[in-house]
Amino acid sequence: MRRRTLTAAVLLVAALTGCSAQGGTTADTPPARIAESAAPAPTGTASAAPVKPLARSLPVRVQLPAAAVDARGVLDLGLNADGTVEVPSVAQADRIGWYGKGVTPGETGPAVLIGHFDTARGPAVLKDVSKVRVGDEITVTRADGTAAVFRVRELQQVDKDAFPTEKVYGDTRRPELRVITCGGELVDGHRPDNIILYADLVTARPA
């Protein structure tokens, strides 16, 4: 049975406003913006053959070599009292969080990972997200000892007020992954955009 519901997904529209430079940021933190060339993969370049979905198993490690990410101890994120999704705390800025009310990486549907670009303390786990390109791989190690390998299909930068809730959280027919952080030039100590990586499962192997 699917553990995700669209009702919960709808509540996530404003969830990522907390994924920002809370209380300001350091002067040497660069703008968070993806390259203009980071666009959806042309038809035919996405993963060719569907991969068999995996059983449910919690994520324990996230590796995104293109952005120098190797984050262990994945956080389990739920919902805040106001219905918005939790984000890692400032003290946990070097860690990735997984939206625990959704599917786990490798199950059918969109598994969602969230991390900071920066905080008031400086650059965070996804500080190099602008280096990611279509075709790069994201490996999620799971508690059952499998490694689910995803390939980035699309990168999107969008104003938080226009967050694409259905595109990010809506049901899919195959195992997919979303990695979400903040982006854009600082405005009053906060970044106005979200950067979203969309990726498809391409293989699963022993970790």
Residue 190 has a pLDDT of 83
pLDDT at 146: 98
- 123 exposure class (CB count in 10 Å sphere: 0-12, 13-18, 19+): buried
Residue 93's pLDDT is what?
A: 96
Could you read off the pLDDT tens digit of each residue along the chain, which spans 207 residues?
444 433 344 444 434 545 444 433 333 444 456 654 445 554 334 445 678 999 999 999 999 999 999 999 999 999 988 888 899 999 999 999 999 999 999 999 999 999 999 998 999 999 999 999 999 999 999 999 999 999 999 999 999 999 999 999 999 999 999 999 999 888 887 898 999 999 999 999 999
In a domain? residue 37: no
pTM for this structure? Answer: 0.83
- Distance of alpha carbon 79 from alpha carbon 38, whole angstroms: 31
Domain that holds residue 125: 6-24+51-206
Query: So what's the pLDDT on residue 34?
Result: 66
In a domain, 35, yes or no: no
CATH code (residue 143): 2.40.260.10
Residue 165 lies in a domain: yes
Q: Among 79, 63, 66, which residue's Cα sits nearest to residue 16?
A: 79
| pLDDT attached to residue 32 | 56
Radius of gyration of the chain from its Cα atoms, rounded to whole angstroms: 16
Q: Give the count of domains, the chain.
A: 1
* Res 118: pLDDT: 94
Specify if 41 maps to a domain.
no
Contact partners, residue 74, CB within 8 Å, separation at least 6:
58, 59, 60, 61, 62, 95, 96, 97, 98, 113
111 domain residue, yes or no: yes
DSSP structure string for 56-104: P--EEEEEEGGGTEEEES-EEE-B-TTSPBP---GGGTTS-EEETTSPP
In a domain, residue 32? The reply is no
Q: Is residue 38 part of a domain?
A: no
Helix extents (H) in 11-49: none
46 falls within a domain: no
